[in-house]
Amino acid sequence: MNKKLILWFAAAAVAVVVVAALAVSGQSQTVRKDIAGAELLQLHGSGASIVDVRTPPEFEAGHIASAINVPVDQLQMVAPAWDKNQPIVVYCATGARSAEAATYLAGAGFKKVYDLTGGLVTWTGELVSGKATAAAPSGAGAVKTAGKPVFIEFATST
């Protein structure tokens, strides 16, 4: 094989590698990361939504301030309405349910998903008690409108 042919193959190989690297870097990356409590506070300070995936009674007994309560078994019904670019921190009691929730969210296309390692057991910060309020975090709480105010009634047929 002559020298020119070798150089041509080398150049072609480099080009393939460069094109592949550019293609990968162009894709939107999903971040799914386990975090500690201090990082949760930083993320919340920078606008991340905090989602408590425990049951409502657990939530009412004590939760991280500003968290909303979406039990892990209801996440698939609620999360599709959320902004997938909004960073989301999930937590539960020990980390098992939040790991499941984080896996689901990352798989559903949420770009930045954070899971509180070890759950509330490891949390040393303040907890607040009481029901969730209607003031859900940005991206998670907004109701889709057609540019007009909306009046919503939840009712029963009986």
Partner 1 sequence: MDVRVYVDSGDPVGDGLARQFNVQYVPEFMFVNADGSVSGEPIVGGTDEATLKARLDALK
CA distance 81 to 98: 19
Q: For partner 1, give the closer residue by CB, 3 or 144.
A: 144
* Rounded least distance, CB 85 to partner 1, Å: 16
For residue 66, what are the β-bridge partners? none
Q: Say whether residue 156 binds partner 1 (CB under 8 A).
A: yes
CA distance 112 to 109: 9
Q: Say whether residue 129 binds partner 1 (CB under 8 A).
A: no
Residue among 64, 73, 66, 90 nearest 141 (CA): 66
Q: Say whether residue 81 binds partner 1 (CB under 8 A).
A: yes
Query: Tokens 């057609």 sit at which residue?
Result: 146
CA distance 20 to 14: 10
Please identify which residue in 47, 56, 107, 109 interacts with partner 1, judged by CB under 8 A. 56
Please identify which residue in 42, 74, 85, 122 interacts with partner 1, judged by CB under 8 A. 74
123: number of Cβ within 10 Å: 18
* Rounded least distance, CB 94 to partner 1, Å: 23
Q: Which residues bind partner 1 (CB under 8 A)?
A: 56, 68-70, 74, 77-78, 80-81, 131-136, 140-158
